[in-house]
Structure 1
Amino acid sequence: MSYEETIEWLFSLENMGIKLGLERMREVLTALGNPERSFRCVHIAGTNGKGSVCAMLDSIFRETGLITGLYTSPHLVDFCERIKVQGEMIKREEVAELVKVVRETIERPDFPKGRRLTFFEVTTAVAFLYFRKKGVQMAVLEVGMGGRLDATNVVNPDCTVITRISLEHTHFLGDTLAKIAYEKAGIIKEGVTVITAEEDETALRVIDAIARDRSAPLLVAGRDIDFKLIGKGWEGIEVKLGSLDKTVKVPLIGGFQASNVAMACECAIEALSKVGRIDEIAIVKGLSKVQWPGRIEVASWSPRVIFDVSHTPDGAKVVADELKELHKGGWVLVIGVLNDKDLEGICKTFGSLATKAVATSPRTKRAYPADTVARELLNYCDEVTIESDVGAAIERALMIREPEQAVLVTGSLYVVGEAKEWLEKQRQK
C-alpha cells in the first residue's frame, strides 16, 4: 500500500469507534514478537498537561544521550507527528511498511477471529514496532484515553505520571472525577513510582488508594516535590526546582506549566536512576530546549495570534487567566468545539476573555456546527460571527479586531491543526 492508501485504511478503522480493553492489544503484540519489551519507558496519563510533560521528558532523555522514542496523540497536521525517534517524525514510507506488517498479522488465519483492532491499537502497535526497529532505549508514552484499558497500558514502565484530571470522555471513563481518576490510575504498576500534580482531594484519594494497593510510591507536586514559579512571560517560564536545587528556564508559555516541569523533572530523575544516567545538567538543558506546538503557541507576533488546543473548561480557564495577564489589549476569539466536549463550559470560559468571537467548525464529523457554537457564544460575547472554514474564521477575526486586540484560535486540537495548515499556506504566498 502507498502511504495515502495506508492512512485511508487506518482511518477507516475509526468507524469501529472506541473499544477499550487490553486483550486485543496483547494478542497482536505477542504475534509481533512483543516489541514493547525491547525498550524502557515512562507512561503518562491525565487530562491537562500530559502532552507537555511528554515533550519535556523526551527532550531531557535526548540530552542524556539516550535514543528516545515519543508516542503522543492525536496529531495536529500530519499523522507522522504521533511517532518520533530522536525528535524526528517517522517517515511516511515507514508508516506504510509497519502498518502493512500489523495488518497482515491481524488478517492471518491463525489470528483470533472477531479481534479487529481499532485505529489507536494499530497505531500503538506501529509505534512499538518502530521503536524496536530504531533501537530506542527510552520511550515516552502518552495514554490515548483514560489509562486502565488504554492500548498503551501493556508496558512495564520505569515511572508513571498522572497530570491534572478534568471531566472528559465521560461516556467511557465515568461522570465524576473519582471515576475518571480510577481509570487514569489504572496505569500504576506494582512497585513503580507514580507522580501527580492532582489537587482535587477526591481524585487524589483514589490515586493514593490504588498506589498503596500496588505498593507504588506516590509523589505529589507541591507536597512531596518542591517547586516554585519564579517568573513568566511571552518568552516562557522560570521555575525553581527543589529536586535539583536549580532554577530552570522553560520556553513554554503559562505559569500553569510549572507543575508540569516539576513532574517531568522528578520522573526523569526516577527513570534515569534505573539506567545509571542521572545528569542534572542534561535535565536543565533538556527543559530549556523543549518545544510543544499548539499550547499557547505564538503563531504571529504582529498582529498577535495565539493557537491553543484547550478543549475542557478547566484547561480553558488556566489559558484564559494566563492570556488576560499577558495581553491587556483585549482578545478576539476563533473557536470550534467537538460534539463530545462541554460546549457551554468552554464557551463560557473563553467568552469571558473576548468581546468579539468567530464561531467555526473543523473538518470532522465529530465537530459541532459553527452556528451551534455561535448560539452558545452569544451568551458571553458582544459580537459573534460565523465562518465554517477555520482559515476563513481567522481571516475574519483579523479583519474585525481593534488595533490593540490579539486573536486566540482555540477549542479543539482539530481547529489548531487546520489553523496551522492555513498559516503555512499564508507563509508560502
Structure 2
Amino acid sequence: MRITSYKRAVEYLESLIPNKNTGKRLYKLERVAHLLELMGNPHESFKSIHIGGTAGKGSITYITAGILKKAGYKAGLHISPHINRVNERIQVNGKEISDKDLTELVEWAKPKIEKTGRETDGLPTYFEAVVAIAFEHFRRKKVDVAAIEVGLGGKLDATNVITPLVSVITNIHFDHRNILGWTVGAIARNKAGIIKEGVPVVTGATQKDALEVIKKKAKKEKAPLTIMGRDVQTKLKKLGPEGLLLNVKTKKETYLNLKTPLLGEYQAVNIATAITALEKSKLKVSKETIRKALREVRIPGRIEAFNIKTLHGNKTIILDGAHNPKKMESFVQTIKKLFPKKKFTFIFAIKKGKNQTGTMRKIAPITRKIYFSQFLSTTDFGKKKSKSARSLSLKMKKVSKVERRIVRSPEEALDLAIKEFKGDDIIIVTGSFYLVGEVRARIFESLLKKKVK
C-alpha cells in the first residue's frame, strides 16, 4: 500500500511500534545502522551535538538548536517523545517538518524499512524509523548542524549511530529502571554509551557513582571531560514570572546577565550546559548571539505558561511534564519561588509503572484542589494507559487531605478547573507529557480562540 496521506504515514509508523511478540526488536543498534546504509547514510551529511542523560536533555536540545539558528547555522533538532504530533520530533530552524514532507519521506523510506526487516532480525521500531527519517530530512534540507536528543538510555539508542562534535550527559536519576538498570551506576553505564573516542564530553552528573562511571568511560575513550559545577560555574541571579537572569563562567568565557523567558530554576544549569557544549564543539557562536538566542527560546511542556481571559476570570495555565519524584521536586521548588505562600489548582495524571505516590507527595503541600484524570496515548512502546483517576485519588487521600475530584478526560478537567474557581487563578497541569499534550491541544484548539463560557 502506498503512503499517499499524512494519516497513512502516521499509521504506517505506528504499525512499527513493538508489542509483546516483538519485544526483542527494541534495542539493536545494528538494525538502524542497516536502515541508514540503505538510505545512503544521511547522518553523515551534517554535524551534530548529541544530548543524553535523565533530567534536562530535552531542554538542552531546544536551547542548543535555538542558539545555533541565531548564529546563522541551518539547525536541525530531534527530540522525543512528542507532545501532540510526531512532526515535533523533526525540526529545522525551529520549524516542524510539514505533513507533506513527512508523508513523502515515509513513502520513500517504506521499502527500505521493509528490506531492513528482511535482512536483519526484524523490522525497525517506530523510534528507529523516525530517527532515520529525521536524518534524511536534515540531509534534504541541507542542515549544517543538528542537536540530537537521545531517546532512551544511550548505548543502544537509535541516535547513537552519529559521531558528534560533542556529547552531553545531563544529571542522572532513576527512570526506566526495568530497561536501563536498578542502580545509578548501571543507568550511568548505559547513558555513558554515547561517549565516543576523542569526542569531548560535557556532563551535569552529580551523583558519585554516576560521575565515576562517566569519568572512567571518558578516560577509556580519550574523550576530554568537562564537569558542570567543577569546571563551569552557574549563578542564578533572579527568578521571576518574567523568566531567569543568570551568569555563566566557563574556562573560556564569562557570560554576565543572561536573560531568558524560561521559568524553571533548573534551566540555569541547562543553559550553562548548552553554552559549554557549544564552546567544546568549536562552532563559531558569539557571546552576543547566545545572549540574543536565550531571550527568544521557548520549550513546550516545560513550565510552559499560558495566560487566558475567561468569563470566570483571568487564568494562568502552567504545563509541565514532570513525571517522577525528582523532576516534580525541581518543578515545585521553582513554583514556590515564583509564587510564594500560594496554593494551586492541579490537574494530574501519570502513567502506570511510575512512582505515583512519591510524585504526588511533592505537590501535596502546594495544592488547594486536585483534579485526577486519565489518558490513553500511543507511545514509542505502544498504547500506554495512565493509572486510573480513582486509584490516584485514593492514593492521594493517604498522602494529604486536599480536596480531590475525579474527572474522566483531561479536557473536561481543564474546563471544570476554569469554571469552578471564580476569579483569577493559576491552574497547574502535570504528571505526564501525555497529559500535557492533551491539555495543550485543548488550549490551542479552543481556549486561545474564544472565551470559556
Q: Same fold (TM over 0.5)?
A: yes
Q: What are the Cα deviations for residues 353-407 of structure 1, in whole angstroms up to 9, with x where unaligned?
A: 2132111112324221211222222223421111120011122223444757521
Query: Displacement, 1:226?
Result: 1.9
Q: Deviations over 1:340-359 (max 9, x none)?
A: 32112211112232132111
Distance 2:364 2:209 in 1: 29
Alignment of 1:180-259 (within 5 A): 180-243=187-250, 244-247=253-256, 248-259=258-269
Which deviates more, 55-64 or 399-408?
399-408
Q: Would you say the 8 A contact 1:21–1:149 is kept in 2?
A: yes
Match of 2:380 in 1: none
Distance 2:18 2:127 in 1: 12
- Decide which moves more: 32-41 or 318-327: 318-327
Superposed CA offset, 1:41-80 (max 9, x none): 0000011111110111001111111111000011111211
Other structure's SS at 1:172 match: helix
Deviates more, 1:322-331 or 1:106-115: 106-115
Give the aligned partner of residue 143 of structure 1: 150
Task: Kindly indicate whether residue 347 of structure 2 is the aligned counterpart of residue 338 of structure 1.
Answer: no
Alpha-carbon shift at residue 111 of structure 1 (Å): 4.8
State the Cα distance separating 1:207 from its structure 2 match.
1.1
**2:375 match: secondary structure:** coil
Q: Deviations over 1:8-37 (max 9, x none)?
A: 111122243570120101111111110010
Q: Deviation string for 1:211-253 (max 9, x for gaps)?
A: 1111111111111012211111111111111133222112100
- Kept in 2, the 8 Å contact 1:352–1:380? The answer is no
1:388 is aligned to: 408
SS at match of 2:115: coil
Alignment of 1:24-423 (within 5 A): 24-108=31-115, 111-243=118-250, 244-247=253-256, 248-271=258-281, 273=282, 275=283, 277-300=284-307, 302-327=314-339, 328-364=341-377, 365-366=383-384, 367-381=386-400, 382-401=402-421, 403=423, 405-423=425-443
CA distance in 1, matches of 2:242, 2:207: 30
Measure, in 2, the Cα distance between the counterparts of 1:91 and 1:405: 36
Asked whether the 8 Å contact 1:41–1:158 carries over to 2, the reply is yes
Letter in 2 for 1:194: V
Mean CA deviation greater in 135-144 or 188-197? 188-197
Match for 1:339: what amino acid?
K
Q: Does the 8 Å CA contact 2:305/2:317 hold for their aligned counterparts? A: yes
TM-score, normalization: structure 1? 0.95
List gaps (5 residues or longer) in structure 2: 309-313, 378-382
1:11 corresponds to 2:20: no
Partner-residue secondary structure (3-state), 1:60? helix
Q: TM-score, normalised by structure 2?
A: 0.90
Q: Deviations over 1:306-345 (max 9, x none)?
A: 1111111100001011112211321121111011321122
| AA aligned opposite 1:180 | I
Task: State the distance in 1 between where 2:275 and 2:412 align.
Answer: 41
Counterparts of 1:305 and 1:49 in 2: how far apart (Å)?
Answer: 22
Deviating more after overlay: 282-291 vs 51-60: 282-291
Number of residue equivalences: 426
- Asked whether 1:428 is paired with 2:438, we answer no
Distance (Å, rounded) in 1 between the aligned partners of 2:353 and 2:106: 29
Whole-angstrom CA distance in 1 between matches of 2:415 and 2:194: 43
Residues of 2 paired with 1:241 and 1:113: CA distance?
Answer: 47
Residues 297 and 307 of structure 1 are in contact (CA less than 8 Å); yes or no, is this contact kept in structure 2? yes
**Are 1:190 and 1:216, in contact at CA under 8 Å, matched by a contact in 2?**
yes
Percent of residue pairs bearing the same amino acid type: 34
Partners of 1:403 and 1:379 in 2: how far apart? 30
Which residue type is aligned with residue 407 of structure 1? I
For structure 1, which segment, 227-236 or 372-381, has the greater mean C-alpha deviation from structure 2 after superposition? 372-381
RMSD of aligned residue pairs (Cα, Å): 1.7
Q: Which letter does structure 2 place at the counterpart of 1:329?
A: K
Q: Secondary structure at the match of 2:167?
A: strand
Post-superposition CA distance 1:276-312 (Å, at most 9, x none): x242221222222211011111122632221111111
* Larger deviation, residues 5-14 vs 344-353: 344-353
